[in-house]
Structure 1
Amino acid sequence: MDRLTEIASHARDAANVLQTLSTRQKSAFLLAIHKHLTLAKSQILASNRLDKDQAQPQVEAGKLSASLFKRLDLEGPGKFETMLQGIKDIEQLEDPVNKVLMASKLDTGLELYKVSCPVGVLLVIFEARPEVVANIAALAIKSGNAAILKGGKESFHTCEAVSKAIQEAMQEVAATMAAEPSNNNDHQGGGADNSAANSIAALKNAIQVVESREDIDGLLKQDKYIDLVIPRGSNALVKYIQWNTRIPVLGHADGLCSTYVAESAKFDLAQKVVVDAKTSYPAACNSTETLIVHASHLKDSFFLNLAKTLVADNNITLKLDQASLKSLQREQGEESSSWVKDHQDKIQPANEEEDFDTEFLDLTLAVKTVESVEEAIRHINEHGSKHTDAILTEDELEAKRFMAGVDAAGVYWNASTRFADGFRYGFGAEVGVSTNKTHARGPVGLEGLVIYKYQLHGHGQASKDYGTEQEGKRVYLHERIDVKARGENLTDFLANKRQRLD
């Protein structure tokens, strides 16, 4: 067995154990990871500084984008603490595994349950953003999945330091569990053995980190062991993954988000939301890249003042379609024309064949003028990436038309596209953002890392016993079993059911 097959095989063995762990056992791993990362903070940040020092000349030489460099930084205000808090938040979330999604009585003594279960083995590939190692490790463990992680070469030392702390935490908890007596209550399936305690070697491989690009090429061929690939990064990275594997891929290639300022939008609201959507983190995939403006706003001071806020106050370059460009070039009085003249370098005509399809990831914003919400919807559906799009309007019916008509994972009314984030959604963290239309969509947290299986509980029935009354056979009942709360734990559900019968 070659090295990469061994890595994938070990991950599968770990996944087979992880899917049987109890919530208590998974929480022990998560709390240990939080503790070890906290203890290793100084080493991790020193490694991050080393990565940044090595990356800075690449940025200056134009070989590494400024946006990627920003994502590399783990020393920014609150970034390390946010990473740690994400692990605690995930630990506090409800366990997504072994939940009853549907229950049906096929016949007396023959019951069918649709139950949530882990996906299995995840291969997660990302550029920069070293905190992703901790985020995904936590999400994977909570959801009962094993994960193989590959970060960008620019974040090598930071990822190595974070991974080392996680491995130490995993080994500490596995050793503790091995010393514990067997406890059936700590086994999801209710079996006789404590699988975690008897499979320490497998659990050590629950979170693995690989280093080289060649490793990825080899792992993309491991469809026997790996169940899902999640790429996080540039369009080029995601497309490369999609074209070079038979393993299902969950992710998005671009974050072409748009914000439409409708005719009834209030200026103060629009100003606040648009500035946030573009400037709070321009390098993020949920940053607005296209501003769509209703034509009525070009006829008064609304767009002029909004543009002034964006350009003069926030240093944003506008790439304007013909109508919006002309509106800024018109004489509007001394004060307004003065700021336009002073910022000519930031007021540019749009290349409409390129700019409306470009993820700038910087303080650059394309501007499109439309006559109606229907035209805005058509533009977004033609040029957007199905990530997140917003409408700013006081008209509820118009907002509903927009949210129904736009084909995106997230559609917002009077809110910034920057809210498209697993942490802000209350998922604790996210493994990525999906624009897929199967399995998971939008920010992918715990629920996106579980699927389901069907469990059939019988008493020796055979399929040939069933048919029609005319044939003298048993007839299926197909009666829905009332599940008190959709998502109730199967073990609890069956225990409560037995109590009711008793």
Structure 2
Amino acid sequence: MAEQIAIAARRAFEASQLVAASERDVALASIREALTTARDEVLAANAKDMEAAKPLVEAGKLSASLLSRLDLGRPGKYDAMLQGITDVAALPLPTGVVTFAKELGPGLELHRVTCPVGVLLVIFEARPEVVVNIAALAIKSGNAAILKGGKESVNSTTVLSRIIAEALAKTSIPSTFVQSVSTRSEISALLAQDKYIDLVMPRGGNELVTSIKNQTKIAVMGHADGICAVYLDKTADEHKAIRVAVESKIDYMAACNAAETLLVHESLVSTLWPKVANALVAVGVSLRADAATLAALAGTPAAANATASTEEDYYTEFLGPIIAVKVVSGVNEAIEHINLHSSHHTDSIVTEDEASMSAWARGLDSANCFINASTRFADGTRYGLGTEVGISTGKTHARGPVGLDGLVIYKYVLRSTKDDGSVIADHEKGGKGYTHTDISREQAPF
């Protein structure tokens, strides 16, 4: 069964490469129309998932953050999902772009042209709208996709996948271009299909990503935990510090770009820090503070919601109203702490010092390095990418929010226009050598 799914995806991918690229936007319009019409059906399926998940949360078998991510009925979420399709359709095609062009010699031109990766296997937890996000990105970028959502979203993802397939069937893009599977055994079998699948994209915690990497020979682009930090530098403006720290933590605590750690310059422990702490506690956040920052809260309103931190707290993605706090001696120590403890997702500095800003941007080993801005900006839609497959914390191929550009690779196209073709002997072994002259990248020669 898994092999048949993988083969179908490969055949759909190959067939789609001979279809006019403009047909991808036709397919996206068809999907949006179908999902608009089927809103009630999708939300009814999602309600079943929510109903089944709530007892698991109460029993401690499912986190409250996953339940929040599961809910398609949250105000504005369904419309945002539909808008993501429109936004992706409006973006320029990422394929067929010439990124390098040279004349190797008279009548011999080399172009490097962007192209799809091929067949993607995307594994994700909870969020059923990811089915639509990935389908839109895959179609626009020319990649076939096989999707596996978490078991808690099975009703939602099954209905969404069926609607997408039915919408594709009305277009020139094969209906098997986007498929879904529902069981763990199917995933295990698909991870062995390295002949047909080109890239695996697990979107979840480190445990999921590590497990996938250990099970497959296929290349893996990991979307792991979000242990994000905000650092208040010695020159931090009070108003900025409170705004950035509070929103980074509470805007959507179940998100992977929510702040989990707050680092405070030692000079601010008795001045700015208590004000930030009171602002956090006032909106329901509990503080896990090191000795210096905990002692500084004595006699303040925040003291009742602050306890001593442990080393483990600085490695923890709380996904809820808890933040770990630690004092540091300066920007270099803040960078060192984050590089050691974080998941290399998103980290922000609040500072007025240009030297600290420069050090942050250069020294921080994270996919998203922010200055005086909320960590919540780390998002494909907010970046103008239309939507995202996820946020990659790795260092190969794509990093940060993975949109269309993260789903393409490239190929080299060499074309001879000589009457008798080109051979090595024309340029080597006594030939005329190579010119290696830059030529226009405006258009590929085919």
SS of the aligned residue for 1:369 comes to strand
**What's the offset of the Cα at 1:18?**
2.2
* Residue 296 of structure 2 is aligned to residue 323 of structure 1: no
Instruction: Work out which of the residue numbers 439, 450, 454 in structure 1 matches 2:412.
Output: 454
Structure 2 segments unaligned to the other structure (5+ residues): none
1:425-484 deviation per Cα after TM superposition (whole angstroms, max 9, x unaligned): 0000001111111110000000000000000001311113322xxx6312111111133x
1-structure distance, mates of 2:293, 2:146: 48
1-structure distance, mates of 2:200, 2:166: 25
Change (3 A) 1:309 1:129: same
2-structure distance, mates of 1:248, 1:472: 42
2:92 match: 94
**What's the offset of the Cα at 1:254?**
1.5
Alpha-carbon RMSD across the aligned residues, in angstroms, is 1.2
* Residue 351 of structure 2 is aligned to residue 351 of structure 1: no
1:437 match: 395
Alignment of 1:61-460 (within 5 A): 61-174=59-172, 203-300=174-271, 302-311=272-281, 313-329=282-298, 331=299, 336=300, 339-340=301-302, 344=304, 346-352=305-311, 354-458=312-416, 459=418, 460=421
**What's the offset of the Cα at 1:253?**
2.4
SS of the aligned residue for 1:139 comes to helix
Q: Contact 1:239–1:253 (CA<8 Å) still a contact in 2? A: no
- Paired residue type of 2:280: L
1-structure distance, mates of 2:344, 2:136: 27
Q: Contact 1:18–1:141 (CA<8 Å) still a contact in 2? A: no
SS of the aligned residue for 1:475 comes to coil
Q: Contact 1:19–1:145 (CA<8 Å) still a contact in 2? A: no
- Paired residue type of 1:299: S
Q: Contact 1:11–1:146 (CA<8 Å) still a contact in 2? A: yes
**What's the offset of the Cα at 1:204?**
1.7
1:200 match: none
* Residue 427 of structure 2 is aligned to residue 466 of structure 1: yes
1-structure distance, mates of 2:147, 2:385: 20
2-structure distance, mates of 1:259, 1:251: 23
**What's the offset of the Cα at 1:21?**
2.9
1:240-287 deviation per Cα after TM superposition (whole angstroms, max 9, x unaligned): 111111111112322111110111111111111111101011111111
State which drifts further: 81-90 or 234-243: 234-243
Q: Contact 1:147–1:208 (CA<8 Å) still a contact in 2? A: yes
- Paired residue type of 1:105: E
State which drifts further: 228-237 or 143-152: 228-237
* TM-score, length-scaled by structure 2: 0.97
SS of the aligned residue for 1:328 comes to coil
SS of the aligned residue for 2:27 comes to helix
Q: Contact 1:86–1:423 (CA<8 Å) still a contact in 2? A: yes
Bigger Rg, structure 1 or 2: 1
1:10 match: 8
SS of the aligned residue for 1:411 comes to strand
Q: Contact 2:284–2:321 (CA<8 Å) still a contact in 1? A: yes
1-structure distance, mates of 2:39, 2:95: 31
Q: Contact 2:289–2:306 (CA<8 Å) still a contact in 1? A: yes
Change (3 A) 1:133 1:340: closer
Q: Contact 2:274–2:302 (CA<8 Å) still a contact in 1? A: no
2-structure distance, mates of 1:270, 1:19: 50
Q: Contact 1:19–1:117 (CA<8 Å) still a contact in 2? A: no
**What's the offset of the Cα at 1:88?**
0.3
1-structure distance, mates of 2:362, 2:297: 33
- Paired residue type of 1:77: P
**What's the offset of the Cα at 1:163?**
1.1
Aligned residues: 443
1:370-428 deviation per Cα after TM superposition (whole angstroms, max 9, x unaligned): 11111111111111111111110011221111110000111011001111100000000
Q: Contact 2:387–2:403 (CA<8 Å) still a contact in 1? A: yes
* TM-score, length-scaled by structure 1: 0.87
Q: Contact 2:120–2:143 (CA<8 Å) still a contact in 1? A: yes
2:437 match: 479
1-structure distance, mates of 2:266, 2:443: 53
**What's the offset of the Cα at 1:489?**
4.7
Q: Contact 2:112–2:413 (CA<8 Å) still a contact in 1? A: yes
**What's the offset of the Cα at 1:161?**
1.3
Structure 1 segments unaligned to the other structure (5+ residues): 175-195, 197-202, 496-502
Q: Contact 1:295–1:370 (CA<8 Å) still a contact in 2? A: yes
1:28 match: 26
Q: Contact 1:105–1:477 (CA<8 Å) still a contact in 2? A: yes
